[in-house]
Structure formats: structure tokens, C-alpha cells
Amino acid sequence: MTMLAVAAAALLLAALCYRRTFKSLGLRRWGALYLLRAAAILLVVVLLFQPVLSYQKERAEKPALICLLDASASMEMADDASGISRFDRVREKYIEWSEKLRNDFRLLPVAFADRALRLENLDQLNAMIPNGRATSLRRALDAASNQLAPAEIAAVLMLSDGINNAAGDPVEKAAELGLTVHCIGVGAGMRSNRDYRDVRATGIDCPDRMMLGNAARVAGSIDAAGMNNRVIEVFLDEDGRQVAGAELTLDDVEGSQQVVFEFTPETKGRHTFTVRVPPVAGERISQNNSRSAVAAVHEAEIGVLYVEGTLRAEYGALVDRFLAKDPDLEFCALVQTRPNVFLQRTNMSELRLAAIPADRKTIERFNVFIIGDLDASYLRPEQQEMILDRVRAGAGLVMLGGYHSLGPGGYADAPLAKALPVELGNREIGQYTEPFLPVLTPEGARHPIFANIAQFFPSRGGGPTAPGLTPLAGCTKVGRAKAAASVLATLADGPSSMPVLAVQPLDRGRTAVFAGDTTRNWQQVSRSLGRESPFLRFWGQMVRWLAGRSEEVSNTAGVVADTDKAQYDPDQPVIISAVVRDRQGQATGNARVSADLKDAAGRSERIELAPVPGPGGHYRGTFTPPAPGRYEVRVAAELDGLSLSAATVPIEVGSLNLEYEKLDPDEKTLMDVAAASGGRYVHLSTADHFVERLQREQRKKTVYVERRLYWPPGAWTLLVAALTAEWILRRRNQLR
């Protein structure tokens, strides 16, 4: 209305302006000039006000029908003698139904397995092979809800065998979806077919981590149909190598039969263990005859209990410079501050000790016992016997020299003395107080305790080849070595010299006596002149040998990585751990650690690892694999400008034959999904009538329409033309 009022006013003013020229021009010429001026005025008003025509109207619109088509590997099963797979039946039915439904619905097909994929045309569907390694009904429902706004979706049709083996509850998702989900079941139970013959491995119970050299137990579950009383062989393979076997007589009772294998892992690292049944004559499918799991065979962290009777320099050196810096150790150090009052240092967060443990359960947690300058009167005989029982079972014990240990500490008549490799003597045996370096015996030079550090010590063949090691301040005197003992180092050169370091076996365990005092001097060797200290290697290799380990200790920077498991279920988080050592071989928490995760297609993702409490130098991070498959985890660290990388750790997400673990359709899950959303469940064989009765009412939608009443380029052109024509006529008529 404003525009019309402005236009009317402008036209009136233009008529008044031309009124004086009416008599001189005549009606025809005056009318032409006025019409050109009026046209220009109207065009200017239109360009200023930009008028549009607005109105509402109703139109009919087809609602969307989301069709979820299961393309997981279990859908390649043929349930009867026809040889037609479940997926082929679904594909045929969808193509048949689509001809009838497309007049009333917008059909949106989505194929799914562990992930969902929108299909753009029938060519994609025809070319599709059902090979998904897992089935996630929940993710399929998620994909359906993400296609369009809920108001545009009439319903969701899910065509599946119902086998859901990925994380997430599809029933819960269906209830919160806000859409009606109709489920159409596919397939038939194997036992309902009398001609069906099949043997399948339905499960493998394999620990994620196994201890090296310890008996391990792996159980396989075997189920069969149509093979009652047949005797079959079942094998356990490790990395493709058969390690155990058993015979099993099949029954016809619904449910699995269990076969148990026991064996001893002999090689550290990650290994694939497979329970398998060779193909049996007459069975329909052999892909489900094996089940595999990946397990890590490792040696556990070494638990060390270190007890000192006095707060001496050796205690500080061992705790601060060795035990707290070795990432492979869990330790508890107890030092006596006054009679029978002990102060605890530990990296075992759940352990709290105010005295030397006196219960067998606590003592059995430790693999190595280090007894320092502690008088025998503070270690009761029953405590000593419990320690000896643990050593006989495979642990290690070393007693150190001191003014209140060994003979001077009153151990000559104590239970521990019987297990030590030297005669201790009485309390008056005394100390040797002159500085010295232990002289290695020929056996000592070859012993694992002195691996890579023998050059720092003199031997019976001469002096050290790497001079500069600070002598020890002295040692506790001991008697001769026992018959079963091995003397590794002596006070001086010569076969009759007093033992300083001696070792001997005790049943499955080991004991040692190191009479020297104090190795802190070795730890203080200056590195400024390029010297290397044997302190960490000596104690690290001592503890590992006592614990029955064989690794040599490295004094170089490095990173070691692992994961909490070797095989994961879909959508299960992976915990990555790493241990970082600095240039001195000590654990450090000052590194920047990251993990690169690469899948089979080469796609990678990076996560950062953060320091964790406990043994020093440990880092941890988590990630959730986006899909089943094989992944490679490569951990790298940056430390003081030095780049460190660990070996790649492979992990497996989802079993290779996960889809063959259960072949019978899971109609209950499909029924529950339909019921939770207000939908219906039918089987594919009877679904034609249900599809015919789907609600076909087209929805009416009110839309708001705006139509522009001008075209700017044309309006500007007409405006220029009108003004130009008016100007030409005015000039001809000699008007200003």
C-alpha cells in the first residue's frame, strides 16, 4: 500500500508539472511525454520497494521409506538345498517390492554390516557382496535416523537375520529413535532342516595374556547338527603350528560341547591360537570350523621386596637410582627408622606395609627379596621360612653385606642361612674395611649378572679393561662357599680368596650373597669424561637373574609399547601402554609419547599417551577402533630432542569368523526391536502381504511461496529506455 501511495503521488506531481505544456504541445505529444515520465516513475518505485507476491498453498508429498538391508557375512548362508543365499533372497524381494512401493514412497535403501552405506541406485545393490565382518543393528538404526528429518519418514524396514555381534543395544536404540521400525526376518534355523550337516567351532576361551613357561589353558566349544555319535578330531594351533589335539564324540543335543587343551607357552610375543576341526564329510559349510584368538605371552613385572635395618647410603642408591627408575619392577622398600618401626617406599599403589610382611599371601606377591643391613632378630623364624618357601617355588633371595647382616647380624643359626651359598660365621666375624674392586672368577665373567659390564672389573687374568670404576669401601667377611654354590667374584685374586658374590640354586629358585658395601660408589661414576657406570646393569641383571629372567639390561634410550589385549570385540576400547627410558637406561616421565594407529586400508589416526602413576616411565592412552579389522599400533617418543620409536604392535578387532559363530537367525532380537518402536515383525516368507498393507496415504504439506514481481536487469533497462525517450522528445519539442 505504501508503494502504491508513493507511486500515485509521484504520478500526480508529474501530471501537474506537465500541465503548463498541454496547450502548446497538444494532446498526442503531451500524452506521450507524460506516459514516458509515468513509466520511469513506476520503474523507480518498483526498484526501490522490490515488491513480491506471497501466498500459501498445500501440496501432496511422498513420505520416505528407509530400507535397511543386512549385508554382513552371515547373510551369504544358504538355508536350504536351493543354494540361494539369505542376501540374494533379500535383494530379490527388495527389487520386487520397490516396483510396487515407489508410487507411494520415496525408497531409500541402506546396506549395513558393522557400518552403514546409503545405496544410490540398483546397480550398487546388484554388485554388493555380503562380506561384512560384524553386524551392528544399532548403527543401522542410527543410519536410518540420519537420512532425513523424522517428519519426512513414514517407517523403517529392517531386513536381517537378526544376528547382532557388535557393541550397542539395538532394542534401546529403537525405543529412543522416534520412528516406526518394522523388522523382516531372513533365514531358517539349521536344526530345522533334516538334511543339514554341519560342525562348527562356536567359541574359544583363551586368556588375553599368558605367562611364559607357565601352564596355560585354552578351551574350545564345538557344536554340530545332523552328526550324532560321529567321532571327530579337534586341534589347537599356535601360529599355525599344532600344539595339542583331542577326540570328541558329537551329540545331537542343542548346545556346544567343550574341549579343553593344556600347554606351556615357550616363546614371548603375540601369538594366534586356533581351535579347529578338519572338514567333515557331508557338512554344508567349513568356514565356521575354526575359532581364533590372539594372546600375548609375556613375563610379568618383577616384584621386589627390599628390607633395610638402617637408613644407610646403599638404601638411597638402590631405591632412588635403581628400583624407582627401572620400569620393569614393582617394588616395596622398607627401612627401619627405630626398632621395629619401618618406613615404606613403593610404586605398588595398593600396597601398604608398616612392618616386614608376616602373611604368606603378601610374601607370595614378590619375586625377589633383598635383605640389607637388618639384624636377624627383626626377622622372625616363621617369616624367614615363608620367604624360603617362596624362593623354593621360583623366587630369588639376595643378602647384602653390612654391619648388622650376614654373620655379624646373627644369621648363622637362622633359617635363611641354610639357603645361602656361603658359610656366614658368627657375630664376631667382622668387616673388611679397605677399598677394593671385586675380582671376577672365570665363571663370574660369563655369568648373566655381569653381562656387558665384566670389563669394569678385574679378573684373574688381569685388571679391568674399562678403568675408572670407584672401589667399594669394604665388605662383610664371610666363610667359604658351599658345595652347590658358584663364586662369581672374590675379594682378591686367587682361588682361595674370600667370596664377595656367590650364588646357588634352591629347588626352583635362586639365592645369592653380595658382601660388598656400598655400590652407591659405582652409581656416582662421572659421565662427563665419557665414562659409563655399571650400577644399573649390575643390579638390574642381578634382580632379573634371581627372578629367573634372562634379559640383559640396556643403558640406552628407548621405548617399549604394548596393548592390554591382542584381540578386541567391535567398539571395545584399546588401551595402549608404553615404557620410555632415557640415555642412561632409566625410566623417565618427561617424554612426549604418541601412538599412530593404521588400519588395513592405510588410514591412520594419532593419539597422545599420558604418564601414569606406578613404576616410572609408564605412559597410557586409549582409542576405540571405528570398525573391525587388523590395526597396527606404532608408538613413538620425543625426549630431549631425541626421536625414539617402538616396534609396531598388531591388534585384531573382531574375530575373522565372527559372523559364522552363530548361524541361526535371531528372531527374538528383531521382534524386540520392532516392539520397542511400535512396529511389527514378519518373516521374509510371509512379508508380501505385510508390505502390501503398508500405510500409503500421501501427506499434505503447507508451503509458503514468494514470487518476485520484477526483474532487476529488465527494470533498469526499461528505466533507462523511458528516460532516454522522454529526453529525446523534450528536445524535439524544445522543452527544458
Q: Which tens digit of pLDDT belongs to each residue from 595-608?
A: 999 987 788 889 99
Q: Are residues 469 and 341 in the same domain?
A: yes
Alpha-carbon separation of residue 384 from 303, 412, 515 (angstroms): 18, 13, 20
Cis peptide before 518 (omega within 30 of 0): yes
Each residue's pLDDT tens digit, 488-513: 999 988 777 899 999 999 999 999 99
User: What pLDDT, on the 0 to 100 scale, is given for residue 268?
Assistant: 81
CATH number at residue 368: 3.40.50.880
* For residue 585, pLDDT beyond 90: no
pLDDT tens digit sequence for 130-169: 988 788 899 999 999 898 888 889 899 999 999 888 768 8
- Asked if residue 378 and residue 242 are part of one domain, the reply reads no
Same domain, 504 and 371: yes
- Tens digit of pLDDT for each residue in 430-458? 999 999 999 999 999 999 999 889 999 99
Residue 56 is assigned to a structural domain of this protein: no
- Is 659 domain-assigned? no
Identify whether 98 is part of a domain: yes
Query: 495, 512, 546: which is the final residue of a domain?
Result: 546
553 inside domain: no
From 546, 566, 596, the end of a domain falls on 546
Q: How far apart are CA 556 and CA 532, in angstroms?
A: 11
Q: Is residue 660 part of a domain?
A: no
648 domain residue, yes or no:
yes
- Domain carrying residue 278: 198-298
CA gap 717, 715 in Å, rounded: 5
pLDDT at 193 over 70: no
Report the pLDDT averaged over residues 93-105: 89
What mean pLDDT comes out for the span 389-414?
A: 95
Whether 314 and 437 map to the same domain: the answer is yes
How would residue 700 be classed by pLDDT, with cut points 50, 70 and 90?
very low
Specify the pLDDT at position 248: 92
CATH number at residue 624: 2.60.40.1930
How sure is the predictor about 527, in pLDDT bands with cuts at 50, 70 and 90?
Answer: very low
Average pLDDT of the chain?
86
Q: Are 541 and 552 in contact (CB under 8 A)?
A: yes
From 546, 568, 585, the end of a domain falls on 546
Write out the DSSP string of 432-495: E-S-B-PEEPHHHHHSGGGTTTGGGS-BTTBS-SS--PPPBSEEE---PBPTT-EEEEESSSST
Output the nine-digit C-alpha cell for 339: 626398632
Task: Mark whether 427 and 542 lie in a shared domain.
Answer: yes
| More confident of the two residues 528 and 634 | 634
Q: Domain of 98: which CATH number?
A: 3.40.50.410
Sequence-ordered list of residues with C-beta below 8 angstroms from that of 151, at least 6 positions apart, any chain: none
Asked whether residue 202 is assigned to any structural domain, the reply reads: yes
Phi first, then psi: what are they for 722, rounded to 5°?
Answer: -65, -45
Judgement on whether residues 423 and 536 belong to the same structural domain of the protein: yes
Residue 335 in 3-state DSSP?
Answer: strand
User: Do both 362 and 403 map to the same domain?
Assistant: yes
The answer to whether residue 578 is domain-embedded is yes
Q: Does 426 lie in the same domain as 379?
A: yes
Q: Same domain, yes or no, for 406 and 462? A: yes
Q: Are 504 and 381 members of one domain?
A: yes
pLDDT-based confidence at residue 325 (cuts at 50, 70, 90): confident
Q: How many domains does the chain have?
A: 5
Say whether both 411 and 532 belong to one domain.
yes
State the virtual CA torsion across 413, 416, 420, 426 in degrees, nearest 10: -30
Look up the pTM and report it. 0.56
Extract long-range pairs of 713-716: CB within 8 Å, 24+ residues apart.
715/43, 715/46, 715/47, 716/47
On whether both 115 and 226 belong to a single domain, the answer is no
